[in-house]
Structure 1
Amino acid sequence: MKITKNPISKLIVLSSIVLCSYSGLAQAQSSAPIVCPGYKQGPSNIPSERVGKKIQKAYEAYNNDQMQEALTILYDIDSSDAFDRAFTDKFIGQLLASQEGQSAKALGYLQNSVKEKQLTDGDHASILKLVADLNLQEQKFADALVWYQKYIDFTCKQDPDVYVRMANSYHELKQFDKVVEPADKAIALYEKPNKNPYVLKLSAFVERKKWPQAIEVAEDLVRTFPDTAQWWSQLGMFYAQVEDYKKSLAMLEVAYNNGFLTKESEIRVLSQLFASNDIPYKAATILEKHMKEGLLKSDEKNLASLANAFHSAKEIKKAAYYYGKAAALSNDVDHYRRQGSLLAAAEDYKNAISAFDKALELAKGQDEGKLHIELMTSYFYLNDFKQAHKHVKLAMNDSATARTAKSWEAYIKEKARNRGIKL
């Protein structure tokens, strides 16, 4: 069983790139706590005067939407001072990251800017997170995990979005056993429920075929997001996966009654569950309803399933009708034979004979003796003893039906003699 193909949001969310105004070339440490408790705050630095003038000029170009001019100025900065270099690389990396297709190039500059702790605490933290996000965007999932962990280790911040992105990275790396922990942390941290960590957990359990755990997550999804149709249907499917067909039927019936089942496959599963839970009439009527509405194709397979469902429900005439429609599309001997048998059971011998004749035309030596027996009995009950005798003689040529045919032959002869009919 599969859940909805590729159910996981890629969650490649590029962190907002905020280029703070550079007034007086001063960068003050943030007053808000953004680092782990016990962290010793470093000194506040500002670029050197020479570098500061170029940065101010680059910022003015940026403010005038002259992105390339700003980058040219910044590329020209040559300084051996650690803070100058880190600040310049941060600025270049942020500008590149804001341009389409420049993420890979931006990563080099941004990673250099935080190689050593030179920037303010706020800048250092934001760049760690931006590097992680850019790696995720570039599908460098292992690198993304490293940088998200660096961000957590530096800030001690419990950010649910970060944990979702980590869970997603583990999922993309197919390290499904590592998805659950960050996903659970995200679930616990979100003030308003977010479906993404649940979906990541669900997919990780499904990938490992851990159905009981997948069911637990799906049950949480139904409780948390009751208006989302897919969780109801998927939970019903998971119950079926562990062969809890009563729960599966109950869940899918609720989903159906709420209009949540809209796919042909879902209707077919619901019908099969009604059948397996000994409710064949509902199994049949649901198929019939959605076939008439066009959700289910009126093809050979669906028509035969519908006929079989009505047969189980002892709706003989309807079953015969739909076997006939299936046979018209399939030219299948068995479909015509079943149609004929049901019509004969309903004492519609004339139409039964028509169905058996079509089956016999298609049989090509396969089970012809049985078809001759069927034709013999239908003609017999129509009091057409000559035709009944003809088919009983033909049935005697088949070793599988010879004994039955012989016992009928004497009976047919007796009935014909009593009626004054010469065979």
Structure 2
Amino acid sequence: MKIFRKTKLSNEKRAQQLLNNKQYDELIEYLEDKHIDGEMSADTFYFMGKAWCFKANEEKSLVLFNKALELEPEDAKIYTAIGKAYYWMDEDNKAKEFFLKAINYDKSQSEAYIGVADVYENAKEYDEALVWAKKALKYDKDNHNIYNTLGSIYMRMEKYDEAAKVFQKALNIADDVDFLYSNACFVYMMLEEHDKAIEYGAKSIDISPDNSTNHYYYGQALFNKGDFKAAIEAFEKALELESGDDIYIEHLKMAK
């Protein structure tokens, strides 16, 4: 098998396209064919690792990311990817370690800054989280995930007006992401703007009807508006998708 240390994946754009389209199985198959043909590079392992990470197999993705690092030990995006894998495995200290390594190799690595912000948010160090999220924004003003993290931090700080503003910015960039609408739904509930909350809750369901959280937030918005019948239907749907959830059960009882 031939290993090309410095050669980029010859069809990197194709791999990125499959990743962007969430065609993870197709991406893995495509890259495994490259493996069989002996066309291996750091990008091959990197994109395959990303695919497995999105398929919620972080341990397998870490194996592949480490192979990528062997070939490109100073590639910041690989360190960022490893940080994200550890983050999703709830290993925040390790995640932070790799995010900081990524920044050490590339000061403009915005996703690494936002990763550090997420770690601080989990630790309830919201002021520090806000600092790192704003650093990410300095390098990338067109990433909806950065605005989403900012919004999440503002929500936890109970700065709901600020949260609403940044969620709107996120939606201006990406209007097809369900969790942006469900987060906006929650914020508008806290601002007691019930019609807006219901509108955004409904949009989150239109985009991702199989996500129980979307139905739950939508149900809360309807409940706050006083539409108990519709709220019951929404909570029942949330329970249908995720049976046994204590919070959903509690809110369903309240609505009845």
TM-score (norm 2): 0.48
> Based on CA coordinates, which of the two structures has the bigger radius of gyration?
1
Decide which structure has greater helix share.
Answer: 2
Q: Which has the higher contact order (CA 8 A, sep 6+)?
A: 2
Report the TM-score, using the length of structure 1 for normalisation: 0.32
